[in-house]
Amino acid sequence: MPEVSKMKKPDVKVVLLGDMNVGKTSLLHRYTERKFKDTISTVGGAFFLKQWGPYNISIWDTAGREQFHGLGSMYCRGAAAVILTYDVTNWQSLAELEERFLSLTDTANHDCIYAVVGNKADLTDPKAQLSQVSDMASEDRSDYEESIEPQVLSACPTPPASPASLSGITLHKQVTLEDAVALYGRILRYKGLEEKSSLPAEKMCFETSAKTGYNVDTLFEALFDLVLPSILRKRNENQESPTVDLEECRGGSSNKRARSACC
């Protein structure tokens, strides 16, 4: 099994950022556990390891609360991809991305890629109420909606999914995809990147629903595919990540133990 323990070392880092209650934890949970459930507000940041083919992708699910704002840049250090998440029913959550979260990404890799993701699309978009996930059948309403054309939208107000939606839940879509695309353009400018040479906005802006699973896999898989070059390059560069740095400076006998266990 040395193969497996070696695999445990993360190759690349993806960070989820965004205001509280936009559904970062739910998105990740939908992707990793194929389920939607009530989450409670994340404290600090939670670290996950995702196997992607032969690679290990570390995902940091950060707390959106202002309380933990100061930690954001630490979580972003050396990130290869940042998922900036907002809530399509909450304009402020998009504005916060620019005001509060964009500056945190200063510590990310210089070639970091950015995705702008509008979650809770099921609340505003009929097509997002269709689950894309096959195992959804058992879950609420999806059967029903798959058989009938989904115009149930305003008829049955979706119950507040997460601790979310304290900020007034309207089925009114406050943020359009165009807004997100515009934000993406501003991000590139902030980063001093050429729009021409960067990934096109239409590839990097998503609308998702953690509740139904709509676009969630698409999002993560597209990102993972995009960060692969970064992984490969990093491997060639002999792994100069902060992870390894810290490990290298550790001395003492305990270090040897860890090594022998690893290799």
Partner 1 sequence: MERDNHQEGEAQGVKICDLPRESNPPADALATSLSLLGSHMFPDPVERNNSITVNKEEPADSLPDGTAEEESLDAEPHSNQVTELETEDTESTECQNNVSTQPSDMGTEDAATDNDRSDSGEFVVTMLAKAKLEEQGIGVKGRSSPLLEAGTQEIPAFMSHRDEDVTADSWRQHRKHVFVLSEAGKPIYSRYGSEEALSSTMGVMMALVSFVQSGDNIIRSVYSDGHTVVFLQKGPLVLVCVSSSRQTEQQLRGELLYVYYQIISMLTQASISRIFEHKKNYDLRRLLAGSEKILDGLLNLVDSDPSFLLAAVHCLPIASSLRDALSQILQKAITPNLVFSILIAKNQLLTIVQEKTVIEDTRLEPADVHLLLNLIGASSAFQAGEIWTPICLPLFNPDCYFYAYISYLDPPECTVCLLLLSTDKEAFYAVAECKKKIEEAMMAQNALSLIAKVQSYSVSQVGVSDLRHFMYKPFDVPDNYRQLTQFTSPEMEAPYSSEEEKMRLLDLYRYMHSRIHSTSRPLKLIYHVAERETLLAWVTSKFELYTCFSPLVTKSCAITAITKLLRWIKKEEDRLFIRYPPKYSTTPNPSKSSRGGKSDQQDSTDNGFLSLL
The contact set with partner 1 (CB under 8 A) reads 8, 20-21, 25, 29, 32-33, 37-48, 61, 63-71, 73-74, 159, 163, 166, 242-243, 246-247, 250, 254, 257-258, 261
Q: How far is the CB of 15 from partner 1 (least distance, A)?
A: 13
Q: How far is the CB of 208 from partner 1 (least distance, A)?
A: 18
Q: How far is the CB of 47 from partner 1 (least distance, A)?
A: 4
Q: How far is the CB of 123 from partner 1 (least distance, A)?
A: 18
The 3-state secondary structure of 227-243, one letter per residue: HHHHHHHHHHCCCCCHH
- Tokens 């194929």 sit at which residue? 34
Distance CA 97, CA 63 (A): 13
* Residue number, 35 or 173, with CB nearest to partner 1: 35
* Residue number, 35 or 127, with CB nearest to partner 1: 35
Token pair belonging to 48: 């996950």
Region of 214 (left: φ > 0; alpha: ψ -120 to 50; beta: rest) is: beta
* Residue number, 67 or 151, with CB nearest to partner 1: 67
* Residue number, 69 or 191, with CB nearest to partner 1: 69
Q: How far is the CB of 72 from partner 1 (least distance, A)?
A: 8
Distance CA 234, CA 246 (A): 17
* Residue number, 66 or 225, with CB nearest to partner 1: 66
